[in-house]
Amino acid sequence: MSNHTFILNGEKVSVEVEDNVRLLWVLRDVLGVTGPKYGCGIRVCRACTSHINGKAFNPCAVSVGDIKATDEITTIEGLADTVKKDLHPVQEAWLKHDVAQCGYCQPGQIMGAVALIKEHKKSGKPITDDDLDQIRNICRCGTYWRVREAIRDAADHM
């Protein structure tokens, strides 16, 4: 066991856990942050998608030992705070389009969508169908169409 420090949703946290435990389990099982979901554990389903220093990543595939003390980890729980609001514009769009069905994949979908929109805002390129096709988050309820609609809508409000 060793000590690991990083910034989680704006606050410094320290945990005692083995280096090779994947960050997803540190978040969920050690810190009790359960927004990021387990869906495959091999970076395929993207249900655990969160942000590291503002960019999307999958904590199921990162050992906690590889996280630096200065790394800022944002999970769905901390997303709204990044814009200092009750809800992030992408979450608002998700509500407007009534995207969620069972909701299990939604934290990952939203965190992925935020990163995608940010990337396009930065490059100035519009989000095309091809870009939406690249989204790898699985929704087993099949709400893909509303995900597409909500992302296009949110992009106009970010």
**Taking CB under 8 A as the criterion, which residues in 74-93 touch another protein?**
75-77, 79-80, 87, 91
The answer to the question of residue 117 lying near another protein (CB under 8 A) is no
Closest CA to 50 of 23, 70, 89: 23
Out of 13, 63, 72, 82, the residue judged to bind another protein by CB under 8 A: 63
Question: What's 26's DSSP letter?
Answer: I
By CB under 8 A, residue 127 contacts another protein: no
Of the candidates 7, 8, 58, 154, which one interacts with another protein according to CB under 8 A? 58
Contact with another protein (CB under 8 A) among 4, 106, 114, 155:
106
Under the binding rule (CB under 8 A), the answer on residue 136 touching another protein is: yes
Question: By CB under 8 A, is residue 154 in contact with another protein?
Answer: no
Q: How far apart are CA 1 and CA 101, in angstroms?
A: 39
Residue 45's nearest CA partner among 118, 120, 113, 135 is 135
Whole-Å CA distances, 98 to 33, 51, 67, 69, 104: 24, 24, 35, 38, 14
- Residue 58: CB minimum distance to another protein, A: 5
Our CB check for another protein shows the closer of 22 and 155 to be: 22
Of 83, 119, 120, 152, which one interacts with another protein (CB under 8 A)?
A: 119
